[in-house]
Amino acid sequence: MDPFVSDTELLRDIRQSLTSNQQTLAVAESVTAGHLQVALSLAEKAMDFFQGGITTYNIGQKTKHLNIDPIHGQKCDCVSEKVALEMAIAVGPLFSADWGIAITGYASPVPELGITELFAYYAFSFKGQPMSQGRLKAEDNGDPAAIRQYYTHELLLLFKDALHLPYSPVKK
């Protein structure tokens, strides 16, 4: 069974909110490895609101395409609230979209870095302004693909909620 089928109603709500406000969306992914782009592309009439996305796995690509601070990125393995926010802010203009969604984190442990807990940081921006950000925690079940799908689903839920918030950017 397709793991994205369960998000059909959620995607419909996101599409309806964006199209009724004549807004578009772009995504910058790392840990979800394109899962978010796939989910959004499967929404009915995705072309009406989804501009596209980029998957960047390493500091070089995040710096080149999403303008993340390379010194900070190197210190934190590109996994921090700041990196997620920089990614979200950069992806909107990159794809001429109103909204930017970004996520960076871990789908499997990285013992050599002392990473045993799986987590990801996400951020949403609107017209280049930070709107919402936070941290997701995942249980390690030994299946990175399932973790990526979990992050994708949680991010879609959080974004749906963010669409209904009054405009009030978070401070950088």
pLDDT band at 7 (very low <50, low <70, confident <90, very high): confident
Tokens of 120: 């990801």
In a domain, 27, yes or no: yes
Query: What are 111-150's pLDDT values in tens digits?
Result: 998 999 999 999 999 999 999 999 999 998 989 999 999 9
In a domain, 77, yes or no: yes
pLDDT band at 165 (very low <50, low <70, confident <90, very high): low
How many distinct structural domains can be found in the chain? 1
Nearest to 29, CA basis, from 79, 97, 96, 93 = 79
Q: Which amino acid is present at 93?
A: P
In a domain, 114, yes or no: yes
List the domain range (segments joined by +) for residue 44.
Answer: 5-163
- Torsions phi, psi for 13 (to 5 deg): -65, -40
Nearest to 131, CA basis, from 93, 164, 96 = 164
Nearest to 98, CA basis, from 22, 15, 167, 24 = 24
In a domain, 170, yes or no: no
